[in-house]
Amino acid sequence: MLHLGVNIDHVTTLRQARYRTMLDSPNAEPSVLQAALESEAAGAQSITVHLRADRRHIQDADVYLLRKSIATKLNLEMGNTPEILAIALDVKPDFVCMVPESREEVTTEGGLDVRAHFAALKPTVAALEANGTRVSMFIDPDLDQVRASHEVGASMIELHTGTFANHFGAEREAEVARLKAAAELGHSLGLQINAGHGLTTKNLPDLRAVPHLHELNIGHHIVSRAVFIGLRAAVAEMLDMMKTYPAA
């Protein structure tokens, strides 16, 4: 069964448009916790948040609140900085996904270069795994990055599907081939294979050709659909589409 992790960052993007943190005012809304609970009620298997160094959406208090309140798994996306690592070690999320991060980007753009940052990532991965948190590397579907993720000690990889989502026709077919090769190699190395970025109910059928997928992390599309049909319905809609994914 293909699992769904719902990324609720953009719920707090809306909140941050008026309130700096959820503690600024009793009127601060929308509630990140309510978003998580609605996603859980619809059947999501995990909740994903990205605690960025610039705190542009998710705040520290949000992470602590979710950790003590949700019934499903907590997946924390993070850059490799001492400050965020200290929080992750304290919060003890079920999963951490290491991502590249820069202040100039609108959202995460492209995968992490694990090979280039191997020496810095290895102690971080070791500390998190020893603390009971399984670690994933958010990578482009590049075979050397898959190998580097295995060598650095990660339990999982999350394949970046942004290029897949933004291309069509022959270009999308070529990206599907890259995703397939990366998934097959990762699976052979004993890694759990996840995927995410830019996935929608419209492009999800083309992802069916990629084997061994365990979990999809989807945020922007689900929150966008929620504007019109509600969050619980948007999560349920995505889960219904995911039922067609071939059993492993």
- Kindly report, residue by residue over 85-131, the tens digit of the pLDDT: 999 999 999 999 999 986 555 455 689 999 999 999 999 999 999 99
Percentage of the chain with pLDDT > 90?
88
Domain-embedded: residue 248: no
Domain-embedded: residue 247: no
Domain-embedded: residue 100: yes
Domain-embedded: residue 36: yes
Phi (first) and psi of residue 241, to 5 degrees: -65, -35
Say how far apart CA 244 and CA 237 lie, in whole Å: 12
Task: Calculate the alpha carbon distances from 36 to 10, 39, 143 in Å.
Answer: 12, 5, 34
Residue 8 has pLDDT above 60, yes or no: yes
Domain-embedded: residue 91: yes
Q: Supply 10's token pair.
A: 């953009």
- DSSP strand pairing (156-160 vs 46-50): unpaired
Q: Find, among 146, 145, 136, the residue nearest to 97 by Cα.
A: 136
Tell me, what CATH number does 166's domain have? 3.20.20.70
| Whole-prediction pTM | 0.94
The residues that are catalytic are 50, 77, 197
177-211 pLDDT tens trace:
999 999 999 999 999 999 999 999 999 999 999 99
Number of domains in the chain: 1
**pLDDT confidence tier of residue 227, bands split at 50, 70 and 90:** very high
Domain-embedded: residue 40: yes
Residue ranges making up the domain that contains 54 = 3-242
Residue 248 has pLDDT above 80, yes or no: no
